[in-house]
Amino acid sequence: MQTVFLNGEFVERDRAMLSAFDAGFQHGVGLFETMLGVRRGDGAEVIGVGAHADRLCDSARLLRLSEDLHADGLAQAVTQTFERSGLERARL
């Protein structure tokens, strides 16, 4: 089963939906960072996840997309998403 992280929870890929009224969907409003996930013998790691999450949260606030996004929770969600994927390497 493939899952995605959407609105604070893991959801089956086929059940993940956005509202037709979502600003990102309607107007292309958004921001992104590209992160590298690697799996090593001792576990999975997303390189520089803390710095990436800090930048994403800062940018979201500056663009007034979200005031309640927190870097620690975002970093944890990204790492868990990569861990669940089972991939050896991934761009996130």
pLDDT digits (tens, 9 = 90+) for 18-42: 999 988 888 888 899 999 999 988 8
The model's confidence at residue 12, banded by pLDDT at 50, 70 and 90, is very high
Fold designation for 3-91? D-amino Acid Aminotransferase; Chain A, domain 1 (3.30.470)
Q: Report, as an integer, the average pLDDT of 82-90.
A: 92
- pTM for the complete prediction? 0.85
pLDDT tens per residue, range 48-78: 999 999 999 999 999 888 888 899 999 999 9
List b or e across 51-76, with b for residues whose CB sees 16 or more CB atoms inside 10 angstroms.
ebbbebbebbeeeeeeeeeebeebbe
User: Domain residue spans in the chain?
Assistant: 3-91
